[in-house]
Copies of this chain bind each other. A is one copy, B any other.
């Protein structure tokens, strides 16, 4: 099927088809490099994650950025595998739970493996990802991705400390979102440009695209958690609220709260004392202050910003798919 006949497919599916050969090379590199002769449990754990078949959005961004800039070598495979390793490592480390959490009877993602295994296998993948980067011979790539790794960890620590703190600002929220999503999206795009020898304007544009795409994606995700319409898509409404997460619509509702409303947020988010009916009250307060609408507007603006960044890049079918991807991440909320 040619790319043209295929315009009804989702943009990440079109990217996957256009980059099929590259993705196959990345997959075999991942399989080869996650092996450990010494510790067979490592590939067991990582295979479980890697085979789970995520959409591979991050490695595709690296591959697309490199191809778009005319890259013709094979270091982009190493970088795409690096990006997927870092992503998988952060997923494993996200799985680590605290005893207090387990006690609440929440299902955890690390039921198959214990905390310690999640931590150590994640560490192994981090180490292997740096080894892959070293093989590209590019110190600039190492610099970009070690910065991204630091930003991810910072963002997650910030989320821990910001959680339940009603004074959390939108600025802190953005740092958290960059850590959770946008930093790796931005770095994934940027290193694709760097390895291709793209000029500074294009490299900056790729970075800006990934950053804005990640922020738009995360804001849309936060929104869906509080949007009744999302229930139709099989998503639970209010998970973030129950986990006392300060997402943008809630941060804005708190900022606009009167005395009585503030007491409600202090009890439910600050102290985590939630009763039946509280989610409905929260949704009503969010509705009253219109913060779903302002969050939606912001997510759309970030999506526009992502698309706009692409303008300085070469005219190319991959560029069109990247543009469509920026539309797609906010399509669910529009």
Known contacts A98-B115, A150-B127: A120-B160 contact under CB 8 Å: yes
A305 within 8 A of B: no
A103 and chain B: residue at smallest CB distance? B99
Which residues of chain A in 155-198 are interfacial with respect to chain B, using CB atoms and an 8 Å cutoff? 155-158, 160-161, 175
A127 and B139 within 8 A (CB): no
Which residues of chain A in 83-130 are interfacial with respect to chain B, using CB atoms and an 8 Å cutoff? 90, 93, 96-100, 102, 114-117, 119-121, 123-124, 126-128, 130
Q: Which of A42, A114, A119, A175 has the most CB of B within 10 A?
A: A119
A332 within 8 A of B: no
A154 within 8 A of B: yes
A93 and B120 within 8 A (CB): yes
Inside 8 A of A155's CB, which chain B residues have their CB? Answer: 38-39
B115, B123, B152, B160: the one contacting A153 at CB < 8 Å is B123
Q: How far is the CA of A43 from the CA of B284 in the complex (A)?
A: 40
Inside 8 A of A39's CB, which chain B residues have their CB? Answer: 154-155, 157-158, 161
A158 and chain B: residue at smallest CB distance? B39
- Secondary structure type dominating chain A contacts: helix
B121, B126, B139, B142: the one contacting A157 at CB < 8 Å is B121
Known contacts A158-B39, A175-B38: A115-B134 contact under CB 8 Å: no
Q: How far is the CA of A97 from the CA of B115 in the complex (A)?
A: 7
A93 and B115 within 8 A (CB): no
Inside 8 A of A331's CB, which chain B residues have their CB? Answer: none
A294 within 8 A of B: no
A137 within 8 A of B: yes
A96 and B115 within 8 A (CB): yes
B126 and A149 within 8 A (CB): yes
A131 and B150 within 8 A (CB): yes
A149 and B127 within 8 A (CB): yes
Chain A to chain B contacts (Cβ below 8 Å), 18 pairs: A38-B154, A40-B161, A41-B157, A41-B160, A42-B154, A93-B123, A96-B115, A97-B115, A98-B114, A98-B116, A99-B102, A120-B153, A120-B157, A121-B153, A124-B153, A126-B149, A127-B153, A131-B147
Binding site for B on A (CB under 8 A): 36, 38-42, 90, 93, 96-100, 102, 114-117, 119-121, 123-124, 126-128, 130-131, 133-134, 137, 139, 142-143, 146-147, 149-150, 152-158, 160-161, 175
Known contacts A120-B153, A130-B130; 9 further A-B pairs (Cβ under 8 A): A38-B154, A41-B157, A41-B160, A42-B154, A42-B157, A100-B114, A123-B153, A128-B146, A131-B150
